[in-house]
Each structure stands twice: as C-alpha cells, then as structure tokens.
Amino acid sequence: MIRSVVRGFGAALPKRVMTNREMEDVVDTSDEWIVQRTGIRQRHIASDDETTSSLGERAARAALDKAGLTPSDIDLIICATSTPDNTFPATAVNIQNRLGMHHGFAFDVQAVCTGFVYAVTTADAYIRGGLARRALVIGAETFSRILDWNDRTTCVLFGDGAGAIVIEAAEGEGTTADRGILTAHLRSDGSHKEKLFVDGGPSTTGTVGKLRMEGREVFKYAVGMITDVIQAAFDSTGTTAEDLDWLVPHQANRRIIDGSAKKLHIAPEKVVITVDMHGNTSAASIPLALATAAGDGRIKKGDLVMLEAMGGGFTWGALLLRW
C-alpha cells in the first residue's frame, strides 16, 4: 500500500523575541503569572516586513533542503493558516510563487490550531489517491496581527512563526512497522464557536477583527477532546502509549499538555515541549515542535510519533506516523 513518508522538515521564526518581562510593560501581567498558568516564557513577533507567506517560504525552503529536493520536485503545497496574507489568493499560492514554482497546485486549510493536522491528513489523502507524489505541508501564522494588545488574557499567549514538512509516496506493507502516516482522526463541533473566535471577517464586519477567547471554557473541553482522538488513533492501529516514542502536541498551554499526557499514561519524557520558547503559534505550533525535536536528534528514523491539536471552532484531531 502507499504510505506518505516524511522526507524533510524546516522552521522559521521572526527575528524579534518578546519575553514575559517585556509583556509586563504592555499589559497588567507578570512573568510569574504567565509561566505558572501557561508555561510560556517568550514568543516571537513578526516585524512589518515579515508576513505569513515570507515565514512560510523560509520554513518550506528549509524543509526542501533537509529533504535534498527543490520546488520542481513538489506537486502540491498545502498551507494551514488562520492569518493569511490576503483574503484571497491563498497564502499557499503566494508561497508557491515565492518559491518560483509554476506547476502543481496549492491551497490553504483553515482549522485554526488544528490546521496542520488537517493539512497533513489532506495531503496524505491526495498522495494515497494518486493526485500527488510529493507534498509540501506548511503551518504558518502571524497571530500578533489579530491580537487585542489590551486584553491580557489573550495577548500573552500567542506568537508568530512557521514550520513545514515534505512528505512523499512510498511503498508500505500495511502494518504499523511501515514508515509514514499510519492513521488520522479529525473532529469538529461548531456549537463551541463563541468560546474561541475572531470577531471580524469579510462577510460580517468587513474587517480583520481581533481574537476573543473564553479561556476557562476552552481549558474545560481541551483535555477530553484531545484524549478522545489520541485514543482513537491508538485503537485503530492496535498501538498503546507504551509503543509511542514521542507525543508532539499543539503548544497552547503546558497544563493542557501535561493533563492530556497524564490521562493517557504517556510518560513526560516522551512529550515534546516548545510552548516556553514559542508560545501558541496556532497552525505553526506542531511543525515548529517537530522541527525542534527532529533537528536536535530526539525524533529519529523509525520512531512512532503522535501529533495532536485542538483549536477554535472547535476543531481537534490526532495523527500517528512512523518517522
């Protein structure tokens, strides 16, 4: 059978780092309060000349370099983002153009923080269906552009950045020993919209809007939803937490990550944590964490890796792959 195997990975972060101490000069908060409740110590903030597509391009080029490939080798680009350069065209098309790529096809996926899991699952379906052989999957965000910098409950949480992977078709035996994507489980429930949303849009206000969140409500649902899809991934493959080498979660809140891992009996040393360095970068969160852990040698060829996320909508999902 056809499996979608990871060939390369890459990351890009804005030059500016904003620490919690600097946040104290912006809103009524403290480093101690932010760290205790979220685990975040700093985040990267895009400058005026850094956009979602420019960060996505940098991450894409790094992933292609790691894979030993060029844009001419790619058939498909999917960019997961909630902060596109324009209402249209898709940011993926902008990245395609920036890469000098004039063939294949490109489009965006919008599932907020779960966007990268949705995008990788979509690319896998195109590859297994024979519509593409190699795909560049990118998560890129400039969430600083949609934050209310007077709202201390949200502006301290988010940052900007991009991550990318290259996946390609390979032959597998149809077992969990195969390299590549083994299973994916996606969910959504629009009845929770008011708990995490942006209060603007082309067809409603004609403005970009600002991010609004009921933090306690999101936290209340998060652990249960995350553990649901992770358990579904284990059940569908006959694997368990003991078989897992790495959990690479969406980096929203350290307490949510720790609570989910504990509920699933996943050892803390198997969990990749980057929320302290990057904050919540929405769809860029998982590929940034992947690039960090694969880049420093923790994630190695043959490792069993679980990706999971939950985002506005609500959307949530999990994907199990062998690196």
Please give the positions annotated as active site: 113, 250, 280
Other residues' Cβ atoms within 10 Å of the Cβ of residue 267: 12
- The position carrying tokens 């597998």 is 172
Rounded CA-CA distance 157/280 in Å is 6
Residue 5: beta bridge partners?
Answer: 168
Q: SS3 sequence, the chain?
A: CEEEEEEEEEEECCCEEEEHHHHCCCCCCCHHHHHHHHCCCEEEECCCCCCHHHHHHHHHHHHHHHHCCCHHHCCEEEEECCCCCCCCCCHHHHHHHHCCCCCCEEEEECCHHHHHHHHHHHHHHHHHCCCCCEEEEEEEEEHHHHCCCCCCCCCCCECEEEEEEEEEEEECCCCCCCCEEEEEEEEECHHHHHHEEECCCCCCCCCCCCEEECHHHHHHHHHHHHHHHHHHHHHHHCCCCCCCCEEEECCCCHHHHHHHHHHCCCCHHHECCCHHHHCECHHHHHHHHHHHHHHCCCCCCCCEEEEEEEECCCEEEEEEEEC
Give the chain's largest Cα–Cα span.
57
